[in-house]
Amino acid sequence: MRRAHCRCETVRNFDYEEAAEKLGCKARFLRDNIRRLPHQRMGEAVVFCDCELDLIRALHTFVPPSVEALLNPPAPSAAPSEVPTLHSIRPSKGRNTARVS
Ligand SMILES: [Zn+2]
């Protein structure tokens, strides 16, 4: 099996307990879900490198659509909208300009 996802210069592997510690989860969770988690199996041993831990994080990262929209605003050409971009917003003229002493 190729390890295209692995970008470790020097692979350092972590066992269930170490991986759980790094991820901040329970080792039990990793064991229970190992069939759908990227990992290496060597005989009885199951280990994870940093890249696999990153993939596990990505697999369990949930971003609500409202937050996703904030992070990735639709491109103007693809989805024209009436919402002004930050760059198009200018301070209004009038109040609070010259007379503040
Ligand atoms: Zn790796």
Domain boundaries, the chain: 16-59
How far does the centroid of ligand 1 lie from the alpha carbon of residue 49, in Å? Answer: 5
Report how far ligand 1's centroid is from the alpha carbon of 45 (Å): 17
Query: Mean pLDDT of successive 10-residue segments in the chain (101 residues)?
Result: 90 97 98 97 96 97 93 72 68 61 57
39 alpha carbon – ligand 1 mean position (Å): 10
Q: pLDDT value at position 31?
A: 98
pLDDT at 8: 95
Give counts: helices (H), strands (E), the chain: 4, 2
Run of H or E residues at 46 = strand 45-47
Looking up tokens 């209004």 gives 92
The rounded Å distance from CA 28 to ligand 1 centre is: 22
- For residue 78, the CA-to-ligand 1 centroid distance in Å is 37
